[in-house]
């Protein structure tokens, strides 16, 4: 078992950077003067919520509901960023904020983090469309990454019941750059696959945090995932990579992911199916298991022979 600092020792700081005239909000959590520093970890959010509700959630009676707190207590310098159009970042441009635009945001965010902290290779974790953003970024800037984690990822969309249903609403998504969200929508994220994977109090806290920042979110990632897959080329992602797939997740078929996994060129790669997990893994009953899987991959001993 890994040694971990108390959650009360974590400190949070807000940061801002720019992408042309777009202001991007970054949130940084860490333990000051930690004895063993393990590197820098950037979390990348998905289609329907900003970064802090996803990665720095607080639920009464549920220790380390904040993934950022957990990894900060392990010794990581943890960061998240609101993509353009989400949360506290700029929303003034009349665009859909698609996957490619999100990769641009990650270029700005990682550049700022490296300049501010001096960090070299960053670890990056992306979930759902955040995994697509992270993978697209990895294609462009492999030199900035140490390790890459893709959770609830999708490649071609083959075998995805969630995307099959979502495509029925594609004309609606194409008609507007943004779509409304509310508590009922957040509930649907968990009810569509396997409702028993999550506690109601976690859904309530998650929904309150999401809707406290946004009452609408961009349509770009939904449009991409419904009509433009595949967006990334596995053969161009030449960094150590783990693919995390929830047992009940409807966003991607296992066969689709395994074909993607096979084409990844880096020899340090891992494919893990997470038992009892549906789509939003950090909000599930088995969230601590997900942390363990991710921490083991990020903290893996480097090979002495290559």
pLDDT, one tens digit per residue, over 251-288 is 989 999 999 999 999 999 999 999 999 999 999 999 99
Q: Which of 2-6, 29-33, 239-243 has the lowest mean pLDDT?
A: 2-6
pLDDT at 155: 98
Residue-averaged pLDDT of the chain: 96
Residue 25 lies in a domain: yes
Q: Quote the pLDDT of residue 265.
A: 98
The verdict on residue 306 lying in a domain is: no
- Sign, CA torsion 21/25/30/32: positive
Q: What is the pLDDT of residues 188-240, one digit of tens each?
A: 999 999 999 999 999 999 999 999 999 999 999 999 999 999 999 999 999 99
In a domain, 303, yes or no: no
**Residue 217, φ and ψ in degrees, nearest 5:** -140, 160
CA dihedral 12, 18, 19, 25 (to 10 degrees): 30
- Please report, for the domain that includes residue 240, its CATH number: 3.40.50.1820
Sequence-ordered list of residues with C-beta below 8 angstroms from that of 115, at least 6 positions apart, any chain: none
Lowest-pLDDT choice from 27-36, 116-125, 128-137, 172-181: 27-36
Torsion of CA 136, 163, 190, 106, to 10 degrees: 10
Residue 113 lies in a domain: yes
Residues 213, 62: Cα–Cα separation, whole Å: 22
Which pLDDT score, from 0 to 100, does residue 223 have? 98
Number of structural domains found in the chain = 1
pTM for the model stands at: 0.97
Domain encompassing residue 104: 7-298
Return d(Cα 34, Cα 76) in angstroms, integer.
9
Q: Is the residue at 27 inside a domain? A: yes
* Whole-number pLDDT of residue 1: 47
Residue 228 resides in a domain: yes
In a domain, 196, yes or no: yes
Do the domain assignments include residue 305?
Answer: no
For β-strands 22-30 and 76-81, DSSP reports them as antiparallel
């Amino acid at each position: 078992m890994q040694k971990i600092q108390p959650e009360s020792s974590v400190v949070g700081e807000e940061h801002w950077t720019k992408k042309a005239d777009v202001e991007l909000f970054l949130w940084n959590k860490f333990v000051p003067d930690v004895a063993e520093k393990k590197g820098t970890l950037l979390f990348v959010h998905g289609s329907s919520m900003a970064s802090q509700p996803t990665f720095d959630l607080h639920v009464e009676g549920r220790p380390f509901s904040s993934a950022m707190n957990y990894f900060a207590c392990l010794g990581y310098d943890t960061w998240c960023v609101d993509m353009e159009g989400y949360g506290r970042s700029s929303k003034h441009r009349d665009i859909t904020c698609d996957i490619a635009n999100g990769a641009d945001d990650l270029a700005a965010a990682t550049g700022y983090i490296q300049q501010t902290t001096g960090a070299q290779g960053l670890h990056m974790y992306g979930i759902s469309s955040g995994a697509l953003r992270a993978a697209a970024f990895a294609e462009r800037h492999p030199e900035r990454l140490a390790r890459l984690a893709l959770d609830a990822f999708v490649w071609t969309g083959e075998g995805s019941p969630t995307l099959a249903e979502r495509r029925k609403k594609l004309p609606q998504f194409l008609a507007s750059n943004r779509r409304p969200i509310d508590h009922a929508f957040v509930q649907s994220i968990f009810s569509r696959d396997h409702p028993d994977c999550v506690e109601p109090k976690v859904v309530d806290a998650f929904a309150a945090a999401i809707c406290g920042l946004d009452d609408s979110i961009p349509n770009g990632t939904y449009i991409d995932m419904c009509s433009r897959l595949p967006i990334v080329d596995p053969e161009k992602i030449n960094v150590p990579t783990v693919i995390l797939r929830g047992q009940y997740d409807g966003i991607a078929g296992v066969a689709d992911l395994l074909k993607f996994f096979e084409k990844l060129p880096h020899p340090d790669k891992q494919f893990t199916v997470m038992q009892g997990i549906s789509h939003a893994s950090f909000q599930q009953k088995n969230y601590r298991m997900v942390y363990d899987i991710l921490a083991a991959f990020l903290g893996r001993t480097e090979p002495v022979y290559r």
